Amino acid sequence: MSNPHHAKIMVVDDEQTTREISAVMLGANGYQVCTFDNCVDALQRLVEDPYDAVLINLHMSGMQKYEFLRAVSDLPLETPPVRLGMADRMMSGAVALHPELGLRQVVWKPFKGSELRRAVKEALLARNTLPET
């Protein structure tokens, strides 16, 4: 992926407002954004259609987030998506990064558009999917 306007970002969050705001913030930067309210549907889509990055709420109910991240790691994809977590700033002490699952960064809620876009761009650049500008 050499053009940021073609990077596909998946947002997985059970909070509709967060999904919508994230889609608008990232879409304004030229990303193609698809949102899901649960891990099961998101994982099924990843099997059918690869994404460049997955942004997941680490405090969602339902399928365990870390099971989802492990399943994403295990997908037979040539280039797995980069994985970023979202979590409430008040819960920062209860969130651990899991590099073995591809989770290397957390975006703290509530976040500003610039924070979200910067985190996604840095993650994509680290994976060499965007040219530096």
Q: Does an H or E element contain 43, and which?
A: helix 39-48
Choose among 23, 35, 89, 85: nearest CA to 58.
85
Indicate the DSSP class of residue 93. Answer: G
The top-level CATH class assigned to 4-126 is alpha beta
- For residues 95-111, b (16+ Cβ closer than 10 Å) or e, as one string? beebeebbbeebbbbeb
pLDDT tens-digit map of 76-109:
988 889 999 998 877 766 566 677 778 878 899 8
Choose among 74, 24, 80, 27: nearest CA to 50.
80
pLDDT tens-digit map of 18-73:
999 999 999 999 999 999 999 999 999 999 999 999 999 988 876 678 889 999 98
